[in-house]
Structures are given as structure tokens and as C-alpha cells.
Chains A and B, each alone.
Chain A
């Protein structure tokens, strides 16, 4: 088998008011089930290495973690090469109940936007209150970036991770690059 390649082969743009990098491929598994079911929670914990988070939260550490996506959906994060094993474990853990686990690692592109002005760059594209205190690490937000759906969270006070569909990776990269263009500082946050 070939080496897996991310949508944009880890392209980056470091010339703007925030650094933009395509990272990955990262492991991602969509898990749909009854989130109050102990078996689902345990399976998610085993697969993502973290407890199932509360509504609109994410428990992540490095490339691993679990994100809350909707009342019956979690996103398991892990290393790309670990997905087959995690899937097998998940399926085993979920075999008794009604749940669905699907590998979506290749269906996504992941970007990292970092720097003191990372919030500003995101606030040009997403209709979300990104003021410190209103949006902080540990929160997960599904919304849109300009014209496409996306989800993001912060890995630290100055770094966002953004997940979008793979097919629009170039569009999202171009958007971020424009939003971070030199001379576009907002000085808002």
C-alpha cells in the first residue's frame, strides 16, 4: 500500500497575521449511538483515549481525543495508522447495542491556525463569538467557514484546529490565507 497523503500534502502559509498549516492525515472515526449508554461511552473512551465530553465540548490531548458532535454523535480522534485497530475495538465494544462507527479519516482535511491573531482570522470566516472567555480550549464548535461547513476547537490559547471536508480543502486553505493576509490585522480581541 502507498503512503497516505493528506488533501493538500501539508501545505502551509506562514506569511500572514497567523500561521496556517494543513496537518494530517489524522485518524477520525464517527461514532453514532446513544451517548447515555455506558457501552458507547466506554467504547469511545477506549478508542479516543479520553472520556466522552459534555455537550459541545472536546477532550483532546495531542492527536487523540473525543469530541461531542451532536446529541447522538461523537468524533474519535487518533493517529491515522491506528484507525483499523481502533475500529476493530470499537466494533467489538459496540456489538451488542445499536450504534454506527465509520472511518472518516480520509474524508476530512485538518488545518491548524496559530498565533496571537488566530482568533481574528477565524472571526473573518465563521459567525461565531470568538472573544476570549466566550470561546476557549475545550470547546467544540460546528459551524461554517464562509460557504462550507466546518468544525473547530482550540488546542491552546493561540491555536485552532479546523476540520472540513476533504474535497473543499483547497477552498478552505485559500480562505484562511486571504483572511490572514499581511496587513489585515483587526485588533479586536
Chain B
């Protein structure tokens, strides 16, 4: 059972306070979009063995969503960041680079 830090309220707590929300940074496609784009948005999900960006909600807590960067194999947590972001912050990306050199090429 993981321990995560809620980016919104700062609490570090066990997983039972949180609710997992799947892959982060999906781009929404609405009416007028192509079938391919819509399929990608609605159904296709990354399932990496290694570095992954996820959405979590502090459901039994402040109620806010936030993002987590995590290694799906070792369960190492690289950091939490705001849900109101289109991409992970640079500072976090370089921290991940330190821990997993060259991880970006592995996708």
C-alpha cells in the first residue's frame, strides 16, 4: 500500500485516503473530433513498466485532485504536482532523469 503526498493540502498519507484516477495529461476530444482522436482520448492508455504520470484524488481528505510521478515497477514516487497542469514540471522531470537516466527513450 503506497504512501503519497497530496499536492493540494500537503498531507502525506497512506493509499486508503486516496483514489486512483488513471493516466495523467489526457487531451479531451469532443464533438467534431475524428474517430481516431476520440478513440485515443477515450480508450487508449499508456501502461509503462517504469516511469508513469498519474492522477490521484485525495478522496478521504481535502477532496482535491493532484498528479503523481511514480515508477510502476519499484513503486518509487518521484513527486506530486498540481492537477492544474498540462505537463509535469521541468524540475520534476530532471529529478526523474537523475533517478532513471534515459527513461524518456524507453517509451
Asked if A and B touch directly (CB within 8 angstroms), the answer is: yes
> Residues of A with Cβ closer than 8 Å to B?
55-56, 69-71, 73, 127-128, 141-144, 149
Which residues of chain B are within 8 angstroms of A144 by Cβ–Cβ distance? 16-17, 60
Could you tell me if B17 and A70 are in contact, using CB atoms closer than 8 angstroms?
no
Kindly state the separation between the CA atoms of A143 and B16 in the bound complex, as whole angstroms.
9
- B residues 1-58 near A (Cβ < 8 Å) are 8-11, 13-14, 16-17
Would B16 and A69 count as touching, CB distance under 8 A? Answer: no
| Chain A residue nearest to B1 in the complex (CB) | A127
Given contacts A142-B61, A144-B60, A149-B60, whether A70 and B14 have CB atoms under 8 Å apart is no
Given known A142-B62, A143-B60, contact A55–B9 (CB-CB < 8 A): yes
Question: In the complex the two chains form, is A143's CB within 8 Å of B9's CB?
Answer: no
* Chain A interface SS verdict (over half): strand
Q: Which residues of B contact A143 (CB under 8 A)?
A: 13, 17, 60-61
A142-B10 in contact given A127-B16, A127-B17 (Cβ < 8 Å): no
Given known pairs A127-B14, A127-B16, A144-B16, the reply for A70 and B60 (CB within 8 Å) is no
Contacts A70-B63, A149-B60 given; does A56 touch B13 at CB 8 Å? no
CB distance from A47 to the nearest CB of B (A): 21
Known A-B contacts A70-B62, A142-B62; the reply to A55 vs B10 at CB < 8 A is: yes
* Cα distance A71–B60 in the bound complex, in angstroms: 15
B14 proximity list for chain A (CB < 8 A): 127
Q: Which residue of B lies closest to A128 (CB)?
A: B13
Enumerate chain B residues within 8 angstroms of A55, measured Cβ to Cβ.
Answer: 9-10
Within B78-99, the residues touching A (CB, 8 Å) are none
Q: Which residues of B contact A70 (CB under 8 A)?
A: 8-9, 62-64
In the bound assembly, the distance between CA atoms of A187 and B62 in angstroms comes to 31
Q: How far is the CA of A73 from the CA of B9 in the complex (A)?
A: 11
**In whole angstroms, how far apart are the Cα atoms of A66 and B7 in the complex?**
22
- Contact status B64-A71, CB under 8 Å: yes
- 11 inter-chain pairs at a CB distance below 8 angstroms, sorted by A residue, are A55-B9, A55-B10, A69-B62, A70-B64, A71-B62, A127-B17, A141-B11, A142-B61, A144-B16, A144-B17, A149-B60
Q: Tell me if A71 and B8 are in contact (CB < 8 A).
A: yes
Residues of A within 8 A of B60 (CB): 142-144, 149
Distance of A23 Cα from B62 Cα, bound (Å): 24
The 3 closest A-B pairs by CB, nearest first: A70-B62, A144-B60, A142-B61
